[in-house]
């Protein structure tokens, strides 16, 4: 088992992680440090105690592609006990696109926040299916309220609409 792990590591993990792992390896235990002590991978601890923090969880790490470039992956490792022996099954998923999408979404949100702040505008959003409302961009302040004075439900907002406009506002929301 240890031989399999030793062969897998150079193929999967970049040199920086392999070097960190080899500095922490003891003669009695094969411990691979994924990042800053996040977890141990197929460690002696599991073989000795039946427990390991990484098992049954999804962990994001940097992997090493065959062509030498690094890329983010998600690893999920489970045990496959069979009699007196234990095998490990690992699922590795490339999360490059997900990370790229998350970064783009974060950047878009930052631009949105800057634009609403610079323009002195606010946004009110309502989910008509759930009745949940959200205030963004300082709208509460523009209306003379503190952020915590306006609730997060459609009914809270409808109390702020002039009584003679409630019917028209509801009609437009429902159209």
Q: Which DSSP helix (H) or strand (E) runs through 70?
A: strand 70-82
Give tens-digit pLDDT for 35-75.
Answer: 323 334 455 667 777 777 777 889 888 888 878 888 899 98
Structure token digits, residue 156 = 């809270």
pLDDT at 95 over 90: yes
Reported as half-sphere exposure (CB side, CA atoms, 13 A), residue 30 has a value of: 13
**CA 22/CA 104 separation, integer angstroms:** 36
Using the CB atoms, write b or e for 86-120: b if 16+ within 10 Å.
eebeeeeeebeeeeeeeeeeeeeeeeeeeebeeee
Give the rounded percent of residues in the chain with a pLDDT score beyond 90: 17
Under the banding of pLDDT at 50, 70 and 90, the label for residue 122 is: confident
What is the SS3 assignment for 131? coil
Residue 118: phi, psi to the nearest 5?
-65, -35
Average pLDDT over residues 11-28: 48
Is pLDDT at 9 greater than 70 in this prediction? Answer: no
Q: pTM of whole model > 0.85?
A: no
The pLDDT of residue 168: 93
Question: Average of pLDDT values for 92-97?
Answer: 93
- Would you state the pLDDT for residue 48? 73
pLDDT of residue 23: 47
Mean pLDDT of the chain: 75
One-letter-per-residue 3-state SS of 77-130 = EEEEEECCEEEEEEEEEECHHHHHHHHHHHHHHHHHHHHHHHHCCCEEEEECCC
Is pLDDT at 97 greater than 90 in this prediction? Answer: yes
Q: CA 153, CA 137: separation in Å to the nearest integer?
A: 17
Comparing 24 with 141, the larger pLDDT belongs to 141
């Amino acid at each position: 088992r240890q031989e399999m792990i030793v062969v897998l590591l150079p193929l999967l993990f970049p040199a920086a992680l392999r070097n960190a792992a080899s500095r922490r390896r003891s003669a009695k235990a094969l411990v691979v440090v994924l990042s800053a002590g996040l977890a141990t991978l197929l460690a002696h601890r599991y073989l000795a105690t039946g427990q390991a923090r990484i098992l049954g969880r999804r962990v994001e790490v940097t992997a090493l592609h065959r062509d030498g470039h690094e890329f983010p992956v998600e690893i999920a490792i489970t045990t496959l006990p069979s009699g007196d022996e234990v095998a490990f099954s690992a699922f590795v998923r490339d999360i490059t696109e997900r990370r790229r999408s998350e970064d783009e979404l974060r950047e878009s949100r930052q631009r949105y926040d800057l634009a609403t702040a610079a323009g002195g505008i606010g946004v009110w959003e309502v989910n008509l299916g759930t009745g949940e409302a959200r205030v963004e961009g300082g709208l509460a302040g523009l209306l003379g309220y503190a952020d915590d004075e306006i609730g997060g439900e459609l009914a809270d907002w409808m109390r702020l609409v002039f009584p003679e406009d409630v019917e028209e506002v509801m009609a437009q929301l429902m159209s």
